[in-house]
Amino acid sequence: MTVIVLSGPIGAGKSSLTGILSKYLGTKPFYESVDDNPVLPLFYADPKKYAFLLQVYFLNTRFHSIKDALTQDNNVLDRSIYEDALFFQMNADIGRATPEEVDTYYELLHNMMGELDRMPKKNPDLLVHINVSYDTMIKRIQKRGRPYEQLSYDSTLEDYYKRLLRYYKPWYDKYDYSPKMEIDGDKYDFMSSEEDREIVLDQIVDKLKEVGKLPMDWDKSTDIQIVNFPGNN
């Protein structure tokens, strides 16, 4: 059983890379449906009012996703519970959560992480973080076209997005639940360029081999999928 989780800011390409990677490796993708999220548009319309509700909603859905992923066969998640605290802490730091909401959120997160610790498989096998600049982030947000994410929707979104990017580096540096790697989302346009896509896939495969989750002689051309070979637990 091999579990890969992705991370990265809004517009980094997490869902796209999840689909690309799961298809390439022959694994199951887990997506968080943003379009069906009833709270997200409310948050963009009134961030201070709905920040806590949104993060609890995310926490709940991602908790169930990671639990399912850790109990099933090989899979890839486009988001995970591990970066949830980053978003909530940033919103709390800019006054979008009360002290009581902060305490409640972290108590809930602590309880959920404690439950994961009691599972046979406690953590993912690899975190793939997509690192992008502000310019790349905005280009991809514009391309996918969700109205409430656009800078024209709310003039404060520019500061929000730039602040979010600043929070990611220390979060990634401190992340220690599993082996991790970074993809340069500015340099490699894995969504549009087949050449860049192959480079990114090669980087991830090399890392999976390095951490013992793929045989060293694994080759896509042999059509071998990730399996439970010795040491792959």
User: Which positions are annotated as active-site residues?
Assistant: 78
| Angstrom distances, CA of residue 217 to CA of 22, 27, 88, 114, 207 | 19, 19, 42, 37, 13
The residues, any chain, with a CB within 8 Å of residue 163's CB and separated by 6 or more, are 90, 94
Q: How many CB atoms lie within 10 A of CB 120?
A: 8
Alpha-carbon distance of 46 to 116, in angstroms, equals 32
79 beta partners: none
Q: Which residue has the tokens 């082996």?
A: 179
**Angle 84-93/157-174 helices, nearest 10 degrees?**
130
What's the DSSP call for residue 143? H
